[in-house]
Amino acid sequence: MKVGVLALQGDFREHLALATQCGHEGISVRTVDELNAVDALILPGGESTTIIKLAQSFGLLEPIRERIGSGLPVYGSCAGMILLADRIEDGIVGQQTFGGIDMTVRRNAFGRQVDSFESDITFNGTQLHAIFIRAPWVEEVGDGVVVLSKAAGHPVAVRQGNLLATSFHPELTDDHAVHSYFFDEICKGR
């Protein structure tokens, strides 16, 4: 499978490495042609305000929205979760997202950079070690959204159809459970 990683800002290299380790071809996405070539897309962790502004200047905002709308499997970690949310709290004025998941996400919900932490959580029934860096959490979800993990009483991993989002960064650990779930449960057969 050709797995694109939006490579404008953030930890896209780690996601590219993980896609390769899972046996896929990792492709950096910075142009519409690159976007059109991929079978799945990952939105990395980083800074959601910067990524969305760069996506606008690179002419990728509407093309990514269109591909999400037509069923492309997309996984977003941390800033990527914010970018997949239909609604955000504590965004900057006018902050846009690609959207797609019927949820409200609160940016920096766990606190500031110094409040970053690691925690053992359950993801889809299995234990994993999760790294939270200025992470968002999910405030509320619509009916079509499945909650796969919770921390501090809030959803931190969710799925809606072909879209998957986590507040944490599995790309920074050796545990491939989240990426394998994305590739094997969501992308497979598409």
Name the residues that contact ligand GLN, by CB under 6 A: 45-48, 78-79, 82, 107-108, 133-134
171 in active site: yes
Q: Are 38 and 3 in contact (CB under 8 A)?
A: yes
118 in active site: no
* Min separation Cβ 176 and ligand GLN, Å: 19
Q: Which of 14, 15, 24, 78 is catalytic?
A: 78
Q: Which amino acid is at 141?
A: V
* Min separation Cβ 53 and ligand GLN, Å: 11
Q: Are 33 and 71 in contact (CB under 8 A)?
A: no
185 in active site: no
Taking Cα atoms as reference points, which of 132, 173, 139, 141 lies closest to residue 153?
Answer: 139
* Min separation Cβ 48 and ligand GLN, Å: 3
Smaller CB distance to ligand GLN: residue 26 or 44? Answer: 44
List CB contacts of 15: < 8 A, sequence separation 6 or more. Answer: 5, 26, 42, 44, 77, 171
Q: Which amino acid is at 56?
A: Q
Q: Which of 14, 24, 171, 179 is catalytic?
A: 171
Smaller CB distance to ligand GLN: residue 45 or 99? Answer: 45
Residues carrying an active site annotation: 78, 169, 171
